[in-house]
Amino acid sequence: MISVGSNEKFDAETCIDLSRFEEACRCEVYRPFSFCLYIFSRGRIFMETKHTLKACIYGAAVGDAMGVPYEMAKRGTFTCDGTMVGGLAHNKPAGTWSDDTAMLLATCDSIRELGFISTVDMRKKFLSWLNEGKYACGGEFFGSGHTTRTALITGSGQDYEKSNGNGSLMRIAPLAFCNVNQFSGWTYEEVIEDVSAITHAHKISTDICKEFVFLLNDVIHNHLDGHHTDYILNILPELDVLESEVDSGVFVKDTFFAALWCFTFTDNFKDCIIKAVNLGGDSDTTASVAGALAGTYYGYDDIPQEWIDTLRDKDLIDSCLF
């Protein structure tokens, strides 16, 4: 186990090199500016589970790529029939994913590279995506929201009420695959809040991120197996509504609600994603969040092979997994 108790302050900016991991473990870790460093025991950071990170990330990426061509299209003006297409909204090749997956991969890559969670390092990786196109599909940056750009450029998570877009929800899923018992000095809730707050610091955004990570944890621990509809409706009965009552815009609560609605009222990965895309609006993010959840629940093998085959830059995705 890691002991954190020295009076020496350890600057998280200098803890990026894994060679200094043991030194960090011996020192008191503090919060520089709005960022935090969370240290884990090497080799015990990731929980063993049949609901894999690969299924989660590929589920999100496939959902993202399915939704990209229809982003911000009005519901009822198009039909996604289950074919992964290109063109339309962004005029990209079929299988292209957006900022949703790029930031998700940056989050994963930071954890993979360091072996612990550093919001400092995550922000650096987000900036490399924003400025250089790293983690972007085909190296081509597109799709970033205003709150995310502002937060990364200014170095301060946005905490005003109108900043509650879905930009942190779409990248938070990897935290569900970290061993919560290994956090040193902070609660699991605080970890999720601070990772969200790199860009989205308002309580509405951080609370939704916590709900999503906790739900993914329930999936990972088999609490939903065989009865996901009943399980979700038991904790969120307000989901039992008609499609006309589901808002699929960019507000983080709406995205979370829409993604959960699609997952709750389908019984396989493919139908979940098609339902999410056909809601219109912020179709790529709705389908990405739904895909992360459905992928984790149903597993990688339930993702249609033709979607996997069409998905671009799979080598990049694989390189970021931990």
Residue 300 has a pLDDT of 96
Bridge partners for 117 per DSSP? 38
Amino acid at 256: F
Please write the tens of the pLDDT for every residue from 183-241. Answer: 556 789 999 999 999 999 999 999 999 999 999 999 999 999 889 999 999 999 999 99
Classify the C-alpha dihedral 131-132-136-141 as positive or negative. positive
The verdict on residue 130 lying in a domain is: yes
Give dist(CA 306, CA 46) in Å, integer.
Answer: 30
The reply to whether 3 falls in a domain is no
The answer to whether residue 292 is domain-embedded is: yes
Of 4 and 133, the one with more pLDDT: 133
* 94 pLDDT above the threshold of 60: yes
Q: Let me know: does 2 contact 25? Beta carbons within 8 Å.
A: yes
Q: What pTM was computed for the model? A: 0.86
Check: CB of residue 126 under 8 Å from CB of residue 133. Answer: no
Q: Is the pLDDT of residue 90 over 80?
A: yes
- Give domain status of residue 47, yes or no: yes
Asked whether residue 52 is assigned to any structural domain, the reply reads yes
Total tally of structural domains belonging to the chain: 1
Distance CA 320, CA 154 (A): 26
Q: Which domain holds residue 91?
A: 9-320
Alpha-carbon distance of 263 to 286, in angstroms, equals 11
Lowest mean pLDDT among 33-47, 83-97, 250-264: 33-47
Average pLDDT over residues 283-289: 98
HSE, CB side, 13 Å, CA atoms: give it for residue 77.
11
> Do the domain assignments include residue 1?
no
Where do the DSSP E strands lie in 186-317? Answer: none
In the chain, how many H helices and how many E strands?
A: 13, 4
Q: Is the predicted pLDDT of residue 91 greater than 90, yes or no? A: yes
Alpha carbon 77 to its chain centroid, in Å, reads 28
Does some domain include residue 173? Answer: yes
State the Cα–Cα distance between residues 315 and 322, nearest whole angstrom: 14
Can you read off the two tokens belonging to residue 36? 């935090």
For the stretch 146-187, pLDDT in tens is: 999 999 999 999 999 999 999 999 999 999 998 755 555 678
Q: Which long-range contacts (CB under 8 A, 24 or more apart) does 133-137 make?
A: 134/106, 135/102, 135/103, 135/105, 135/106, 135/109, 135/316, 135/320, 136/99, 136/102, 137/92, 137/96, 137/97, 137/98, 137/101, 137/102, 137/312, 137/313, 137/316
- Rounded to the nearest 5°, which phi and psi values hold at 46? -110, 130
Determine the pLDDT at residue 136. 97
Q: Which pLDDT does position 178 carry in this prediction?
A: 87
Residue 50 pLDDT level (bands cut at 50, 70, 90): low
Query: Using only C-alpha atoms, what is the Rg of the chain?
Result: 19
pLDDT of residue 184: 58
CB 284 within 8 A of CB 68: yes
Q: Is residue 2 part of a domain?
A: no
Report the share of the chain in percent with pLDDT over 90: 77
What's the rounded mean pLDDT across residues 271-293?
Answer: 98
* Whole-number pLDDT of residue 280: 97
- The mean predicted confidence, pLDDT, of the chain is 85
* Spacing of C-alpha 91 from chain mean position: 24
pLDDT of residue 1 exceeding 50, the answer is no
So what's the pLDDT on residue 155? 94
Collapsing DSSP states into helix, strand and coil, what is residue 46? strand
Q: Which residues contact 5 (CB under 8 A, 6 or more apart)?
A: 28
For residue 180, the model assigns a pLDDT of 57
Contact 64, 287 (CB under 8 A): yes
**pLDDT for 11 beyond 60:** no
72, two tokens:
């911000």
Report the pLDDT value the prediction gives residue 6, as an integer from 0 to 100.
24
Query: What integer pLDDT is reported at residue 186 of this predicted model?
Result: 77
CATH number of the domain where residue 185 is located: 1.10.4080.10
